[in-house]
Amino acid sequence: MTDKFVLIDAGHGGLNKAGRFDYGACHMNPGGTAIREADKALAISYVVYEFMNYMGIQARMFRHRGDHPKLCTNARRLAYARDNADWISAWVSIHLNSHKSPNAHGAEIFHWHKADAEELQIAEYIRNEYVLLTDIDGIPMFKWRGIKTVTSHDRWGDMARAYHKAGVPAVLVETGFLSNKRDRYYLTNPTYIQAIGEAIGLGIAKYVKSKEKP
């Protein structure tokens, strides 16, 4: 495990199949400014990355600030994971959710149903820290919606399956709903972004350390 690295993958931010910028979910503020999933996912991912460095765990970001969107397509994500499959200990894809109902809220983790036990372990380690650390005086920031083992070809199923097919243990973390007022407050506030990223980072770190034990 020591030679391996964690792939931290900020969701979206590339060109989609139609050649347009894929910003993921989007929330329009009353003032007309947009909150884009791609930007917030990147902000959270940087915190996770910094935390990996702090813990002395090898990590790489797939997408960086300022990368050309041509470099960040889903096809390139998969190619990168396949090319580096022997060296990736965990592929953690970070997203913000959205729903047409503003009441939908909470966090969840997806992985593909034929996944080996590693994916479930990674998901459980992240879940444990996420539930514990994103808590303010006993009140959870996010409702925990569960670890979802996907089998269907919905938008999560296709993503989770594609990641899994790359041959590395992969999970997709939906940190909360950009379309929900309370979740959005936490997902866009730098203090809470720090807490969210550290929670995910600590979960990954515990998984990686668990593999180092003799």
Which residues contact Zn ion (rule: CB under 5 A)?
11, 24, 95
DSSP state of 168: S
Nearer to Zn ion, 25 or 59 (CB): 25
Considering the complex, state which of residue 47 and residue 57 has its C-beta at the smaller distance from Zn ion.
47
Measure the CA–CA gap between 107 and 133, rounded to whole angstroms: 13
Tell me the closest approach of the beta carbon of residue 95 to Zn ion, in angstroms.
Answer: 3
| CB 180, min distance to Zn ion, A | 15
Q: Which is nearer to Zn ion, 24 or 197 (CB)?
A: 24
Smallest CA-to-CA distance from 197 within 45, 7, 36 is with: 45
Least distance (Å) from Zn ion to the CB of residue 139? 26
Residue 209 beta carbon to Zn ion: minimum distance, rounded to whole angstroms: 28
Residue 173's nearest CA partner among 204, 141, 139, 151 is 204
* Of 63 and 95, CB closest to Zn ion: 95
Min separation Cβ 150 and Zn ion, Å: 14
* Nearest residue relative to Zn ion (C-beta): 95
| 179 vs 99: CA distance, rounded Å | 6
State the Cα–Cα distance between residues 170 and 58, nearest whole angstrom. Answer: 16
- End-to-end Cα spacing for the chain: 11
Given a contact cutoff of 8 angstroms between Cβ atoms, the answer to whether 187 and 40 are in contact is yes
**Measured from the CB atom, is 83 or 154 closer to Zn ion?**
154
